[in-house]
Amino acid sequence: MEAGHCCPITMTHAAVATLLHEPVLARSVLPKLLARSYDPRFAPWQKKQAITVGMGMTERQGGTDVRANTTVATAINGTGPGKAYAITGHKWFLSAPMSDAFLVLAQAKGGLSCFFLPRFSPDGSVNRIKLERLKDKLGNRSNGSAEVSFDRAVGYLISEEGRGVQTIIDMVTLTRLDRAVSSAGLMRQALARAIHHAQHRSVFQKKLIDQPLMLQVLADMALDVEAATALAFKLAASFDGRDDPDATAYRRLMTPVTKYWVCKTPRRSSMRRWSALAATPMWRRAASRCSIARFRSTPSGRDRATSCASICSGRSSVRRKPWSGCSPESRRQAAASSA
Ligand SMILES: Cc1cc2nc3c(=O)[nH]c(=O)nc-3n(C[C@H](O)[C@H](O)[C@H](O)COP(=O)(O)OP(=O)(O)OC[C@H]3O[C@@H](n4cnc5c(N)ncnc54)[C@H](O)[C@@H]3O)c2cc1C
């Protein structure tokens, strides 16, 4: 299955967490956002059965460092949560630009703030969002990403002015979870293809899968897929236990770690899958930023050192190769059961 639709679906569902900061808006937007259908019409979100929502955080001069954003938001008729602001500036990377609305960061008087920016203005005219061009990306080509500019586009403040990062981070966290789960899925798909190929391709009078070295390679891949899947679903389970303090601590610590590890692990797969996988480490913050996010989630230096040590020891056990010492038959069975 082509994975291009995953990004808009991920962003749409992740937006729920941020929209909940503005309950009045959430009450009318959420039913359309959670609908299980797709309404392709280019119309104001209020008139649609189902909508999708994108995000506009990064800017040309800032990238990861969103505090360097220069897009400005000027209050139109009073300041505060839910109020309309005129937004002027640009976004360097806005994926799924056909979305019905975007959650964007812009500088208001009180600092960097989060806004709900629909495709249509309140008077029914098209909002002043200009698609400058589509990105010519290495992978993930079926999912458009655009450079856009805003010229007094109308957006609505979510939460308080100055709390933009704290507000949009709930969306970012959920997209990181999805990136981990979807990368584990793409890895599994690539492994199934590799095993299928090895089962049918003959070299030196044997099927590839019967060549001991190839079996070692496939078993290694199977181990990575199992580890990535287990880690991603363990993280997903921690999101289900929202009120449990252990689950909360695990979620805070392990979301960036899991996103980093799972998105960085896949290396051996077919080209299209590889190009989709290549994009996931950069999406929702690149690798180093995920490491920094993890460090920020632990309070003191001593705690950081302890948790870092336990993560490192866990990671090294994942990389161990328990296959040495196994018979070729048991390795083959293990690889085949992962397909
Ligand atoms: C396919 C795709 C789709 C995207 N879609 C969207 C979207 O819809 N909306 C959106 O807002 N953005 C989107 N982005 C942008 C993405 O979020 C950014 O690429 C990402 O935040 C990194 O920013 P940057 O590329 O400008 O890298 P930079 O900020 O220039 O960082 C460059 C490198 O430096 C590292 N780095 C940064 N800070 C530190 C530090 N303190 N210490 C050590 N290393 C550091 C980073 O990890 C990175 O590897 C998309 C990107 C891609 C590839």
Q: What's the CA-to-centroid distance between 153 and ligand 1, angstroms? A: 25
Same domain, 276 and 247: yes
Residue ending a domain, choose from 112, 139, 162:
162
pLDDT for 3 = 82
Same domain, 119 and 156: yes
Same domain, 171 and 158: no
- Residue 150 belongs to domain spanning: 3-162
Pair of tokens at residue 19? 């929209």
pLDDT for 299 = 54
Report whether 103 contacts 56 (CB < 8 A). Answer: yes
pLDDT tens, position by position, 205-246 = 999 999 999 999 999 999 999 999 999 999 999 998 778 999
Q: What's the CA-to-centroid distance between 114 and ligand 1, angstroms? A: 18
Quote the number of domains for the chain: 2
Strands 202-203 and 129-134 turn out to be unpaired
Question: Percent of the chain, pLDDT > 70?
Answer: 78
pLDDT tens, position by position, 19-66 = 999 999 999 999 999 999 999 999 999 999 999 999 999 999 988 999
Same domain, 39 and 188: no
Residue whose CA lies nearest to ligand 1 atom number 41: 289
Q: Does ligand 1 have an atom closer than 6 angstroms to the CB of 279? A: yes
Report whether 169 contacts 284 (CB < 8 A). Answer: no
**C-alpha atoms less than 13 angstroms from C-alpha of 152 in its C-beta half-sphere:** 1
Residue whose CA lies nearest to ligand 1 atom number 26: 63
**Pairwise pLDDT comparison (140 vs 334), residue with the higher score:** 140
Q: Which residues make Cβ contacts (< 8 Å) with residue 259, sequence separation at least 6?
A: 176, 177, 179, 180, 284, 290
pLDDT for 74 = 98
The Cα–Cα gap between 204 and 59 comes to 54
Q: Which of 237-241, 252-256, 310-314 is predicted least confidently?
A: 310-314
Q: What is the per-residue DSSP string for 108-144?
A: ETTEEEEEEEESB-TTSSBPSEEEEEE---SS-TTS-
pLDDT for 141 = 86
Residue whose CA lies nearest to ligand 1 atom number 27: 63
Q: What's the CA-to-centroid distance between 147 and ligand 1, angstroms? A: 14
Same domain, 121 and 263: no
Report which ligand 1 atom has the smallest distance to the Cα of 285.
21
Residue 38 DSSP SS3: coil
Same domain, 158 and 172: no
Same domain, 122 and 15: yes
Residue ending a domain, choose from 131, 162, 193:
162
pLDDT for 284 = 62
Question: What mean pLDDT do residues 12-17 have?
Answer: 96
Q: What's the CA-to-centroid distance between 324 and ligand 1, angstroms? A: 39
Q: Does ligand 1 have an atom closer than 6 angstroms to the CB of 310? A: no
Q: What's the CA-to-centroid distance between 283 and ligand 1, angstroms? A: 7
Q: Which of 224, 225, 196 is nearest to 209 (CA)?
A: 196
Same domain, 37 and 146: yes
Same domain, 111 and 209: no
pLDDT for 140 = 84
Residue whose CA lies nearest to ligand 1 atom number 16: 283
Report which ligand 1 atom has the smallest distance to the Cα of 58.
11
Q: Does ligand 1 have an atom closer than 6 angstroms to the CB of 95? A: yes
Burial of 2 (0-12, 13-18, 19+ CB in 10 A): exposed
pLDDT for 59 = 97
What's the CATH number where 132 sits?
2.40.110.20
**Pairwise pLDDT comparison (160 vs 332), residue with the higher score:** 160
**Pairwise pLDDT comparison (179 vs 299), residue with the higher score:** 179
Residue whose CA lies nearest to ligand 1 atom number 25: 63
Burial of 150 (0-12, 13-18, 19+ CB in 10 A): buried
pLDDT tens, position by position, 133-184 = 999 988 888 999 999 999 999 999 999 999 999 999 999 999 999 999 999 9
Same domain, 16 and 120: yes
Same domain, 241 and 331: yes
Report whether 28 contacts 19 (CB < 8 A). Answer: no
Residue ending a domain, choose from 162, 181, 199:
162
What's the CATH number where 328 sits?
1.20.140.10
Same domain, 83 and 202: no
